[in-house]
Amino acid sequence: MAEQRRIGYNWNLRTVMAQRNLWKSTELMPLLKSRGINLSESQVYRLVTGTPERIPARTFAALCDILDCEPNHLFEPYVEMRAAKTADAPKRPEDLGVKPGSPIARRVRIVPDDEDG
């Protein structure tokens, strides 16, 4: 059976900027603009402080040029989770001991002791 893998990544833009003595996202804006990348202040701020889900290749290339770094300095993938595919997983809830129509979890009411009061 093939292994299933979930891949995560670390976005190290802020760290690389600090190593280059760039401390504010506003310092990055004119450097991006000089390379033809026009982003708003809020977009650059999110790029620096957050972890982008998508980034245009030209923006990524401009960041590498500005910071004089390789792409793997900014973007560091890692294996988040590994799981083997299993063909012998139960097909029906009854095989797990769960009866149709009955909840698996039940509500619990916690009543404090008289001393806790």
Across all residues in the chain, what is the average pLDDT?
Answer: 84
79, 6 in Cβ contact below 8 A?
A: yes
User: pLDDT at position 11, please?
Assistant: 95
Is residue 72 a part of any domain in this protein?
yes
* DSSP tally for the chain: helices H, then strands E: 5, 2
In a domain, 22, yes or no: yes
Q: What is the pLDDT of residues 98-109, one digit of tens each?
A: 666 666 666 667
**Structural domain contains residue 9:** yes
8 Å CB contact between 7 and 81 = no
* Containing structural domain, residue 31: 3-83
Q: How far apart are CA 22 and CA 28, in angstroms?
A: 7
Question: One-letter amino acid identity for 77?
Answer: P
pLDDT of 1 reads 52
79 in a domain, yes or no?
Answer: yes
CA distance linking residue 78 with residue 35, whole number of Å: 30
What CATH number should be reported for the domain holding residue 75? 1.10.260
Q: Give one word for 24, left, alpha or beta, with left for phi > 0 and alpha for psi -120 to 50.
A: beta
- Mean predicted confidence (pLDDT) in 58-63: 96
**Per the structure, how many domains does the chain have?**
1
Contact predicate 115/36, CB 8 Å: no
Does residue 60 lie in a domain region?
Answer: yes
pTM: 0.65
Q: What is the pLDDT of residues 19-32, one digit of tens each?
A: 999 999 999 999 99
* Residue 100 in domain: no
Tell me if 110 is assigned to some domain: no
Residue 71 counted as domain residue? yes
Which residues make Cβ contacts (< 8 Å) with residue 20, sequence separation at least 6? 67, 68
